[in-house]
Chain A
Amino acid sequence: AQSVTQLDSHVSVSEGTPVLLRCNYSSSYSPSLFWYVQHPNKGLQLLLKYTSAATLVKGINGFEAEFKKSETSFHLTKPSAHMSDAAEYFCVVRVISNFGNEKLTFGTGTRLTIIP
């Protein structure tokens, strides 16, 4: 079985300070991991993805995430928050089993608020 846990449902940071959104996963197989962002009443947009290449992944808008197998984590970070970063963020794990079955599991989301 696989699962993904976003450790914080809501994070608030001041503009210009670092952002950390935490994500832990569990999987019996080698996972692919994704972070998506969703602005109000919009679809989801891919921020970045890990697919077993480099463990430090750089995405759009200055975000990056590091895959740590020993900690089963894939935390999302950004050095300096901008007002436009205010949105909901989803961590997603994709696994393909030895039987060829594919499953995509979404975290429950973290709402990021930026304080002016």
Chain B
Amino acid sequence: DGGITQSPKYLFRKEGQNVTLSCEQNLNHDAMYWYRQDPGQGLRLIYYSQIVNDFQKGDIAEGYSVSREKKESFPLTVTSAQKNPTAFYLCASWGIGTEDSYEQYFGPGTRLTVT
């Protein structure tokens, strides 16, 4: 089955440590995205990549970094510079879905807790 996998589902880190969240897709989609979700705020775009070796900042990129060395993979690093890293992180891709129109596909998410 095609889809997006994110690991781990739950992640705990101490303040001051960098942490990398994994995102892999086997949908053959060019575009991939990282969102952050906080209660009552919906989803906010962190970074996105429309093609391998290229990525763009979203609305809240400060304190985060990404890479896109392979089409299938788009890891997100939460650095110690991110002031409020505790959140639910969702990876997504964009491609052709049902009825031959584009739609966004989401992974199951990673809940990061930093103490």
- A binding-site residues for B, Cβ under 8 Å: 9, 32, 34, 36, 41-46, 49, 51, 90, 92, 94, 104, 106-109
Contacts and interface: CB of A to CB of B under 8 A. Distances in A.
Contacts, number: 51
Contact of A51 (B9, B35, B45, B101): B101
Contacts of A108: 40-42
- The range of chain B's interface size is 20 to 34
Given A9-B40, A106-B43, A108-B40, A43 B101 contact: no
Given A34-B103, A41-B109, A104-B104, A46 B42 contact: no
Given A43-B90, A46-B97, A104 B45 contact: yes
A90 B103 contact: no
Contacts of A44: 43, 90, 92, 104, 106
Interface string B76-104: 00000000000010101000010101111
- Most interface-central of B40, B103, B105 (chain A CB within 10 A): B103
A107 B42 contact: yes
A46 B104 contact: yes
Interface of B: 4, 6, 9, 33, 35, 40-45, 88, 90, 92, 97, 99, 101-109, 111
Contacts of A41: 9, 88, 109, 111
A44 B43 CA distance: 10
Q: Chain B at the A interface: mostly helix, strand, loop or mixed?
A: strand
A108 B40 CA distance: 6
A45 B103 CA distance: 11
Contacts of B35: 106
Contacts of B45: 104
B87 to A, nearest CB: 13
Nearest to B43: A106
A2 to B, nearest CB: 13
B7 to A, nearest CB: 13
Given A49-B103, A51-B101, A43 B108 contact: yes
14 contacts: A34-B103, A43-B90, A43-B106, A44-B104, A44-B106, A46-B97, A46-B104, A49-B101, A51-B99, A92-B104, A104-B33, A106-B42, A108-B41, A108-B42
